[in-house]
A and B are shown apart, each in its own frame.
Chain A
Amino acid sequence: MRDKRMSAAEVAAELSDGMTVGIGGWGSRRKPMALVRAILDSPVRDLTVVSYGGPDVGLLCAAGKVRRLVFGFVSLDSIAYDPWFQRVRQQGGIEVSEYDEGMFYSGLLAASHRLPFLPIRAGLGSDVMRVNPELKTVRSPYDDEELVAMPALNLDVALVHLNRADRHGNGQYLGPDPYFDDLFCLAAKRRFLSCERIVDTSELDGPPQSLLTNRMMVDGVVETPNGAHFTSCVPDYGRDEKFQRHYAKSAADEELWPSFVDQFLSRGETGYQLAVQGLSS
C-alpha cells in the first residue's frame, strides 16, 4: 500500500495561485493550523478559502493569501470575532460568498456526491439570496415547493487535521465531533490530512466509527504534533485559550501584530512550537 507521508511544506507546495482550498474543523476547533502556517510561509496567493471559519481564516487574511472567502461564520468561539477577518472585511479587502451554515453543509455534500446542487430551505426569504445574486431556486417536481439550489462547493484541495492516522491515509478522530472533515476530503481533488501522530494501521484502536477517513479519501499524510494549536484537538489537548487571547489582542492592534509575526510566524513550525512552549512556561 502507498506510503503517503509528506511534510507540511510539501503540502503547501501543492497549492497554486487561485486555487479553491477547503479547510476542515469548525470555528476554533481542530483546525489544520500547521498546514495553514506552512501556507503562510509559501508564495501562494489569491486563494478561495472554504471554511467553517476560525483563526485559519484570520491568519490567511493577515498574510494576504485570500481573494475570496466562502463561509457561514468566522469565530474564535470563546472570543466572538476574529480581528483580522473583521479588518479585511471592513477594508473591503476580500470577496465573500456568505451562506447559512446548513447551506454550506449542503454544498459540501453536493460536491461529495458530484451533484451540481442540493435543494435546501435555508436561505429563502433571507439576505443570503441578495448578497449571493448567483444563487437560484428550484421548484419541487412533486409538489411545486420552492427551494434554494445550493451549488456544489467543489474544492481543489482539502486540508484537515485528525488525532491519529496511518501512513496510508486512514484517519481517526478521538474527540466527540467529526465536524465535516470527511466531506471536505470527499469534495476535493487533492486531500491532505495532518494528524497528531502517525501510527501503524493496527494501532488505530478505538471504536471503528472513529475512523473518519479511509485511504481512498486522502492523498497525503503529515505528522504535525500540536498541529491544531491554538485551536482544540481533544482529547489530545484543548484550545489554548491564553494563546488565543494573545493572538486576538495582537490581531486587533496593527502595532502589536508585527511582533506576533516575528515571535511566532517567522521561524517555521519548529520555531512556532518552541515559541509557544516558551510563552506557556
Chain B
Amino acid sequence: MSRIDVCVAACADLFLGAGEILASPMGLIPQLGAKLARLTAEPDLLMSDGEAYLLGENGIEGWLPYRKVFDVVAGGRRHVVMGANQLDRFGNQNISCIGDHDKPTRQLLGFRGAPGNTVNHRTSYWVPKHSKRIFVPQVDVVSGVGHDRGFHHVHRVVTNLCVLDFATPDGSMRLVSTHPGVTVEEVLDNTGFPLQTDQVGTTREPSPQELELIDKLDPDHARD
C-alpha cells in the first residue's frame, strides 16, 4: 500500500453519511475517493463526468450541464472537494490570485464557484503537497469562505501528510490524524500557523477490498 492510497481512502471518508447528494471532487485523488465511497459506504452518491452528464454504475443516468450545477449549488445538495492555492487556519481559501488584486504577482484561476460553494453547501479541500506556501497565516484573496466569516460548511482538509478538520470552539484548524509514517512535527513544520494537536490519531489504511477497488478504478496508477 502506498501513501496515496491512504489519501484516496481519506477522501472517500469525506463523504461518509452524505447520502443522495452530488459529490463534486476536483482532481484525481478526490475523484478516486468519491468513486470509492460510492462503491462502498455511500452507494447513493451522484457524480458528474466533469462535463454535462451524471454517470451512474451503468453509464449516463442524468443531465447536468453547467447551468444546472448552479441550481444544485444553490439548493445545497452537494459536497465539493476543491483545491487551494492558499488556505488559512479558518479554512479561507484562495484560488483567485497571489498578491494585490489590482496587480497580482501571480494570476490564478479566479473565484470560480468557491464563494457560492462555501456559503451553500459542505466543502472540503484536497492539498496534494502540504507546505507553508499553501497553509498561510492569511490568504491574499478570500475565494472560499472560512469559519471566521460566518459560514460553517468547511468539513475537512486532506493532504499528502494528514487529515485536518475545524472541530474546535473557534472553528480553527485541528489536526485529526497523520498518515502512517508521518509525524505531527512534520505536519507542523509544513504549516504556516499553529494547529490544535490535542488528540491526533493515525489515518486509517484502506482495507484489502478497498485497495482492490482503487486498483480497478485506476489500473494505470495515474495516482502515483
A-side interface residues toward B, CB under 8 Å? 26, 53, 71-75, 80-81, 85-86, 89-92, 98-103, 105, 120-128, 130-131, 175-180
CA A45 to CA B74, docked complex, whole Å: 37
From known contacts A100-B113, A100-B114, A126-B118, infer whether A178 and B67 are also in contact, taking CB-CB under 8 Å: yes
**Complex contact B151–A103 (CB within 8 A):** no
7 smallest beta-carbon distances between A and B, as pairs = A122-B116, A92-B103, A176-B52, A73-B110, A126-B115, A125-B149, A89-B107
From known contacts A90-B104, A105-B70, infer whether A73 and B109 are also in contact, taking CB-CB under 8 Å: yes
By the criterion of a CB under 8 Å from any partner CB, how many residues of chain B are at the interface?
39
- 30 A-B pairs within 8 Å (CB atoms) are namely A53-B110, A72-B111, A75-B109, A80-B109, A81-B107, A81-B108, A85-B107, A86-B107, A98-B96, A101-B113, A102-B74, A105-B67, A120-B74, A120-B116, A122-B73, A122-B113, A122-B115, A122-B119, A124-B115, A125-B118, A125-B119, A125-B151, A126-B142, A127-B141, A131-B101, A176-B65, A177-B52, A177-B65, A177-B66, A180-B67
Name which residue of chain A comes closest to B148, CB basis. A125
**Complex contact B104–A81 (CB within 8 A):** no
Which of chain A's residues have a CB closer than 8 A to the CB of B65?
176-179
Which of chain B's residues have a CB closer than 8 A to the CB of A89?
97, 103-104, 107
- Encode contact with A along B130-167: 1 for CB under 8 Å, 0 otherwise: 00000000000111110001110000000000000000
Residue of A81, A102, A121 contacting most chain B CB atoms (<10 Å): A102
Closest Cβ of chain A to B210, distance in Å, is 30
Which of chain B's residues have a CB closer than 8 A to the CB of A75?
109-110
* Any A CB within 8 A of the CB of B106: yes
Which of chain A's residues have a CB closer than 8 A to the CB of B106?
86, 90
CA A75 to CA B85, docked complex, whole Å: 15
**Complex contact B53–A176 (CB within 8 A):** yes
**Complex contact B107–A90 (CB within 8 A):** yes
Closest Cβ of chain A to B90, distance in Å, is 11
**Complex contact A100–B150 (CB within 8 A):** no
- Tell which of B109, B144, B149, B150 touches A81, judged by Cβ atoms closer than 8 Å: B109
**Complex contact B51–A177 (CB within 8 A):** yes
Residue of A92, A124, A180 contacting most chain B CB atoms (<10 Å): A124
CA A177 to CA B49, docked complex, whole Å: 12
**Complex contact B119–A121 (CB within 8 A):** yes
Closest Cβ of chain B to A149, distance in Å, is 15
* Any A CB within 8 A of the CB of B105: yes
Which of chain A's residues have a CB closer than 8 A to the CB of B105?
90
**Complex contact B141–A102 (CB within 8 A):** no
Which of chain B's residues have a CB closer than 8 A to the CB of A120?
74, 116
- Tell which of A71, A90, A121 touches B110, judged by Cβ atoms closer than 8 Å: A71
Which of chain A's residues have a CB closer than 8 A to the CB of B110?
53, 71-75, 98
Closest Cβ of chain A to B36, distance in Å, is 25
CA A177 to CA B48, docked complex, whole Å: 13
- Tell which of A73, A90, A123 touches B112, judged by Cβ atoms closer than 8 Å: A73
Which of chain A's residues have a CB closer than 8 A to the CB of B119?
121-126
**Complex contact A100–B104 (CB within 8 A):** no
Which of chain A's residues have a CB closer than 8 A to the CB of B96?
98, 127
CA A72 to CA B112, docked complex, whole Å: 5
CA A99 to CA B70, docked complex, whole Å: 14
**Complex contact B111–A99 (CB within 8 A):** yes
CA A123 to CA B107, docked complex, whole Å: 20
- Encode contact with A along B83-101: 1 for CB under 8 Å, 0 otherwise: 0000000000000110001
Residue of B67, B106, B108, B150 contacting most chain A CB atoms (<10 Å): B67
- Tell which of A123, A177, A179 touches B115, judged by Cβ atoms closer than 8 Å: A123
**Complex contact B111–A73 (CB within 8 A):** yes
- Tell which of A86, A127, A177 touches B143, judged by Cβ atoms closer than 8 Å: A127
* Any A CB within 8 A of the CB of B120: yes
Which of chain B's residues have a CB closer than 8 A to the CB of A81?
107-109
CA A121 to CA B105, docked complex, whole Å: 29
CA A126 to CA B96, docked complex, whole Å: 11
CA A121 to CA B70, docked complex, whole Å: 12
Closest Cβ of chain A to B43, distance in Å, is 25
CA A72 to CA B110, docked complex, whole Å: 6
Which of chain B's residues have a CB closer than 8 A to the CB of A74?
109-110
**Complex contact A121–B116 (CB within 8 A):** yes
Name which residue of chain A comes closest to B141, CB basis. A127
